[in-house]
Structure 1
């Protein structure tokens, strides 16, 4: 390593070029700051290059593949349809490259200086950046830590085989697994299970915990997993994965102490996300860290050192790109003196399985626990005319509301279009909307949007396409 003799002065330094980092960099640049963005790998971070985008290429492919039967029924004629993962990999890599080029172009257009290398703090106002044999020193006025997170796995599980995979590696396969065992209960595990079941794998989903959904979603999800012939094993802890003669033996321990073994051709595990902070030199700073190892921030993203900010997986909260993007913009705006903050109360959570899941706000159980006088309404998607003609009849929309104030507390959806429609739900939740606020606008017809309207109307038993509520007998 050759240490440079010159220390360069920088205005704003953003460490990490993932979705949170590059949004922060571009927003700060547009607000008049001179921005240097430091990234050790590729712009776009894990989300664009390894996680969100690659996995969504597969979920989109599976959803389109599933439509083939319906399209034939409608009269679309074509030969036998097969899933070619080699071609899909080529498509995936092309799209990643295009999107990454787009991010690079945006940084250039906004005059964001991009520096390749690994950054570490040397003091409260100086960082070093190492790139191979080169080492640069920067003095900065303000810095944003956007280093993201990484997955961690139980000790003893060795990922030393092309059949024992981490969650990102499963989307690099060029052949469809014959028998796929998935370990996890998060959205990544559900998406993986749905994708490869549709593409022809015999899938076993081993749940290492409980789903965090509303009870109605969990019930419908169980039905959908059974419908897709996904074998589900609950309440199990992983003990070992052993490869023998091209096959895998996965040993599990049930809560009652029973040990079981299942066999498959491939195994994939979803790890636990932890912040990427170990090589950042934070021990040189009087920076406040939480007990869980996150950088503590206020609602603007400011750390205990006023001119250093942190966003994304480096901070507490859900490990989601939507959180990082919002935090990145807010940190940049707060630097410019704007009155902004991040409120994570209504973070939209989505699962891009088939059918998709999307929700925001309180579950029915959470609302009751918090002391609300709860009423709920569920509108099955099969009652929607557009769902019928598109053969997307699985799922429902559930609305959780407070009887005393009519304020909507939570919206939970499962069905085609849920991911797009949840934005309407989030907007209403942020505005503390009552059911009348959802009912007043006109909804396009025919469309999936009407499922949300009728679910809200159902709170007052006014939904036309839902049967009347049963009246409680007087006691």
Structure 2
């Protein structure tokens, strides 16, 4: 029985407090709207609590551990390097807590009302929020849905203590001796690589012909090389069949090249994608249209087919990226306020925190040609960069795809140390309509990895300095 139900009228209600929702709420409040944000979990959503932030903290710790053992070339030898995994988890938790408490402070500073509970639509302009045995109603003028996504559970791999999602992997209390990773996408590769760095014997089972199938083959080849060095075994075109659990571990069965094989491990990490969190929102009650996959249909202002209702992030078509959700949150908030804002994904980057890192923005060479462009490509290796040499990390390259007629930057790909940070310059260049000449004429500090952008631009122009023409 539901008791204590009452109705509050608000300008804008935001459902979900992840990187899309809380950004939308703050931007809407800045524009003068009375905003209420609702979330059934912790502020910050999956990204801050059990996704982007804790995973990158784990990856950083893994790199530190590896570097402590592998710096002999620099004359540095460390003996008996060990991991206190409980202390590592404590540190990781402190990073998360700083950010989530920061989000709470920002929402309060912008006078956003925070409500804890599970929201569902009861009308096209009203939602009910359940708080345990009590509930409340909110009648709104505008609503932004930002409920994110959840890991996909395979029927033959039900979640358990030993069959875990990325959330479970980030909460492990020990470094496993063996781990099987089902899915060689970015989550599987990132976490598999991190645990391999800690000494776990990792096996990746990927159903397609390559891990990271959405990325350029030459970029992926560098990741495969490092994974092999870490002792990771990769099986592609491998179909996971099922799992047998014991008290102390699992046996994963998979079909590889027509043969059934078995892999023993302490845990099996399932990373085969994510599903939009739209099933429990009662979208039908508001008449909101969705795709066959449960994604909410939106226009360029993130508007649904229902007046006053918007949707952003993982629950709408497009890449499931935290920075995409934040961007869309700002667009939706501005559209509600009557501003002529609309999405333009031309400069949106995609990053994999693998080893080495991969980053891409705009068009690849193949995509540019498919769209009818004549292109000139400028590629520069990390091995010819002074900073990369001084870091003792020279695997990688940067590739710029430019329009042949005028050098306009169409896209860029980076594989190498610091790729996640370096891609921002190239996203800005694409957004600003810059050319290879613009980048080449920009003075970059020396010695830095950032110089690689200048060098790659000079290659595209046919005037390279630090590699032979």
**TM (normalized to structure 1)?**
0.94
Structure 1 position 355 matched with structure 2 position 356: yes
2:374 paired residue number: 373
Is the CA contact (8 Å cut-off) linking 1:349 and 1:359 kept in structure 2? Answer: yes
Q: CA RMSD in A?
A: 1.8
- Which moved further from structure 2: 206-215 or 272-281? 206-215
**Secondary structure of 1:111 counterpart:** coil
2:162 paired residue number: 163
Is the CA contact (8 Å cut-off) linking 1:213 and 1:363 kept in structure 2? Answer: no
Q: Please state how far the C-alpha of 1:375 moved relative to its aligned partner.
A: 2.9
Matched residue count? 466
1:471 paired residue number: none
In structure 2, C-alpha distance between the alignment counterparts of 1:141 and 1:227, rounded to whole Å: 56
1:175 paired residue number: 174
Aligned in 2, Cα 1:75/1:253: closer, same or farther, shift over 3 Å?
closer
Q: Please state how far the C-alpha of 1:428 moved relative to its aligned partner.
A: 1.1
| Ranges in structure 1 where 5+ consecutive residues have no aligned partner | 469-475
| Ranges in structure 2 where 5+ consecutive residues have no aligned partner | none
Is the CA contact (8 Å cut-off) linking 1:167 and 1:271 kept in structure 2? Answer: no
2:55 paired residue number: 55
Q: Please state how far the C-alpha of 1:184 moved relative to its aligned partner.
A: 0.8
1:301-320 alignment, distance < 5 Å = 301-320=302-321
Aligned in 2, Cα 1:5/1:261: closer, same or farther, shift over 3 Å?
closer
Structure 1 position 231 matched with structure 2 position 233: yes
In structure 1, C-alpha distance between the alignment counterparts of 2:68 and 2:468, rounded to whole Å: 33
Match of 2:215 among 213, 231, 243: 213
Question: Deviations along 1:81-124, whole A, 9 cap, x unmatched?
Answer: 21221111111112212211111111111110001111111111
1:473 paired residue number: none
Structure 1 position 91 matched with structure 2 position 70: no
Is the CA contact (8 Å cut-off) linking 1:362 and 1:400 kept in structure 2? Answer: yes
Structure 1 position 136 matched with structure 2 position 141: no
Question: Deviations along 1:151-176, whole A, 9 cap, x unmatched?
Answer: 1122121222x332212211111221
Aligned in 2, Cα 1:341/1:262: closer, same or farther, shift over 3 Å?
same
Q: Please state how far the C-alpha of 1:461 moved relative to its aligned partner.
A: 3.2
1:456 paired residue number: 457
In structure 2, C-alpha distance between the alignment counterparts of 1:462 and 1:178, rounded to whole Å: 51
In structure 1, C-alpha distance between the alignment counterparts of 2:267 and 2:418, rounded to whole Å: 31
Q: Please state how far the C-alpha of 1:177 moved relative to its aligned partner.
A: 1.3
Question: Deviations along 1:269-321, whole A, 9 cap, x unmatched?
Answer: 10321211111111112222223321111111111112111111121111110
- Which moved further from structure 2: 175-184 or 443-452? 175-184
Is the CA contact (8 Å cut-off) linking 2:5 and 2:134 kept in structure 1? Answer: no
In structure 1, C-alpha distance between the alignment counterparts of 2:279 and 2:206, rounded to whole Å: 30
In structure 2, C-alpha distance between the alignment counterparts of 1:416 and 1:374, rounded to whole Å: 26
Is the CA contact (8 Å cut-off) linking 2:351 and 2:359 kept in structure 1? Answer: yes
Q: Please state how far the C-alpha of 1:145 moved relative to its aligned partner.
A: 0.6
1:5-404 alignment, distance < 5 Å = 6-69=6-69, 74=74, 80-160=80-160, 162-209=161-208, 210=210, 211-244=213-246, 246-254=248-256, 256-404=257-405
In structure 1, C-alpha distance between the alignment counterparts of 2:122 and 2:112, rounded to whole Å: 23
